[in-house]
Amino acid sequence: MRKQCILHDWNDEECVRILKKCKEAISKKGKEGKVIIIDMVMDNEVKDEEYVETQLFFDMLMMVLVKGKERNEKEWVRLFSSVGFNNYTITPVLGSRSLIQIFS
């Protein structure tokens, strides 16, 4: 089953619970274990007005419809660190979405 852009539906506390379960699931893989997330990473450095408007629109949509929000890189890293993930990569792909990989 393919899921993407799921974590932005949840607040930080719920994301931590989800990520803890992911960490438990990959713990048997050792250093080879990783979690792959496809979600938006808000970028404060982007100068393209339409891109910024899109990011803000999605952030407001998440706040109104569900408990979630769009996060910037620092907010993502804070979530990863709180669960005990030591390393991550973020690769922009698929328009406003990024491929986020987190490692034990």
Does 6 qualify as catalytic in the annotation? no
User: Do the Cβ atoms of 72 and 41 come closer than 8 Å?
Assistant: yes
List the catalytic residue out of 8, 55, 71, 98. Answer: 8
Give CA–CA dist 73/68, Å, rounded: 16
Give the integer Cα–Cα distance in Å for 88 and 102. 4
**CB of 104 within 8 A of CB of 22?**
no
d(CA 37, CA 88): 11
| Helix count and strand count (H, E) for the chain | 3, 4
| Residues with catalytic roles | 8
